[in-house]
A and B are shown apart, each in its own frame.
Chain A
Amino acid sequence: MTAFERAAGIHPPHDSPGYRSTARRHPSQPLILLPHGPTEVTGPLLGGRRPDPSDNDLTRQHSGEPQGQRIIVHGRVLAGGRPVRTTLVEVWQANAAGRYRHAADNWPAPIDPNFTGLGRILTDEDGRYSFTTIRPGAYPWGNHDNAWRPAHIHFSLLGEAFAQRLITQMYFPDDPLLALDPIFQSIPDERVRGRLVAGFDLAATKPEWALGYRFDIVLRGPEATPMEGDDHDD
């Protein structure tokens, strides 16, 4: 049994005052280090849920096409430098106007009857995933005066082990709202934050059809075992 590497300094702190909802929801006591045992190094894999092949196209889930800029989002899921194969990627997002199809979202932007905003994809043997959707819109939220969330797509990954479970958000390049967003900015290290910004990908762009974006995801890999002779400084 191999433990997974630790992610110190990577994830945002639970207590993040700029994001107001953390105020009464963050633990006040420090987290206690949990050594990885057989429960943490195993996981639900597919959880018994295999998506339909059509679940990777969010523009074809209704009788008509949704409004908005059609895009293709693709990338690889990796851990410890190796592909994470046949793992479930779940995505959800707002429509082109920035409205979620959710009872709790009621700001005055239109619902799109042809857009649900849910996709499910399995990675292939190289850890690759790809889905077609429309670019989501930015939307206002009540966090502070004139607060707007940058356009984003939510990603959920089960990985291969409980220790690898990850929920995150993918953003778009050159979005001026990123600099103002307390959720994106909650990640302390600028270079680490940058990993959540997809790259425009001309090679994945389909002529006369859709813009391409690339978003790779790196989950925790096996903990590095110290090698003999590693203790000298080069």
Chain B
Amino acid sequence: MTELTPAQTAGPFLHIGLLWPGGEYAVPAGTPAAFWLRGTVRDGNGDPVGDALIETWQIEPDAFARTPTRPDGTYAVHTVAPGPGYLDLSIHARGLLDRLVTRVYFTPDDFFTGLDPARRETLIAVPADDGFRFDIHLQGEHETVFFDV
């Protein structure tokens, strides 16, 4: 193991350093077949997490979004369906000493099918009015599956 640098929390003031104007647009407005991926981030008490940063990365096409959660815990990312059928999503926040990583599935694959059937549904993007819904539960009964990436 090389001398890897350890992570530390982004803290409650991450907005100073990490906000990008229009960062929620992984693809520009007007992109054909684009949609909104929307969700709410909640903690183990079911309370909204209003001070987090959501980042998404996908390929085919390459597209990156970065957006803060609002005080009610909601976020929205404007994107298109990724070629592999999923995108990767990171959560940074106060209380997270390292990012949490999950996957948003639009089309299940073999890896998804190999996951615990009782929990893997938390990774499915659910069709909604203007796109898809992906709620994130950091802890508790409906806890999202998180990955060691």
Q: Within 8 Å of chain B (Cβ to Cβ): is A31?
A: yes
Residues in chain A near residue B144, CB distance under 8 A: 27
Q: Within 8 Å of chain B (Cβ to Cβ): is A105?
A: yes
Residues in chain B near residue A7, CB distance under 8 A: 4
* CA distance in complex: A228, B31 (Å): 50
Cross-chain contact B147 with A34 (CB below 8 angstroms)? yes
- The distance from the CB of B90 to the nearest CB of chain A, in whole angstroms, is 6
Instruction: Report which B residues bind A (CB closer than 8 A).
Output: 1-18, 20, 43-45, 47, 49, 51, 55, 57-59, 62, 64, 66, 82, 84, 86-88, 90, 92-101, 103, 111, 115, 119, 138-140, 143-149
Q: Within 8 Å of chain B (Cβ to Cβ): is A117?
A: yes
Cross-chain contact B139 with A38 (CB below 8 angstroms)? no
Cross-chain contact A22 with B95 (CB below 8 angstroms)? yes
Chain A residue nearest in CB terms to B51: A104
17 chain-A/chain-B pairs, Cβ below 8 angstroms: A10-B6, A14-B100, A22-B96, A26-B96, A27-B138, A27-B139, A28-B140, A39-B82, A39-B88, A40-B149, A44-B57, A80-B2, A92-B18, A104-B13, A162-B57, A195-B4, A195-B6
* CA distance in complex: A86, B1 (Å): 24
Residues in chain B near residue A57, CB distance under 8 A: none
Given contacts A19-B9, A43-B57, A162-B149, 12 further A-B contacts (CB under 8 A): A5-B1, A11-B6, A19-B97, A21-B95, A22-B95, A27-B144, A34-B147, A47-B64, A102-B15, A168-B5, A184-B8, A219-B5
* CA distance in complex: A27, B8 (Å): 17
Residues in chain A near residue B148, CB distance under 8 A: 6, 31-34
A46-83 vs B, Cβ < 8 Å mask (1 yes, 0 no): 01110000000000000000000000000000001100
Cross-chain contact B44 with A25 (CB below 8 angstroms)? yes
* CA distance in complex: A43, B62 (Å): 8
Q: Which of A16, A43, A167, A216 has the most CB of B within 10 A?
A: A167
* CA distance in complex: A5, B100 (Å): 18
Chain B residue nearest in CB terms to A48: B64
- Number of residue pairs spanning A and B whose beta carbons lie under 8 angstroms apart: 196
Cross-chain contact B20 with A92 (CB below 8 angstroms)? no
Q: Within 8 Å of chain B (Cβ to Cβ): is A112?
A: no
A197-211 vs B, Cβ < 8 Å mask (1 yes, 0 no): 000000000000000
Residues in chain A near residue B149, CB distance under 8 A: 34, 36, 40, 162-163
Residues in chain A near residue B49, CB distance under 8 A: 25
* CA distance in complex: A221, B4 (Å): 9
Chain B residue nearest in CB terms to A166: B7
Q: A26-B138, A28-B139 are in contact. Are A187 and B6 (CB under 8 A)?
A: yes
Q: A7-B4, A43-B57, A162-B57 are in contact. Are A91 and B17 (CB under 8 A)?
A: yes
Cross-chain contact B99 with A165 (CB below 8 angstroms)? yes
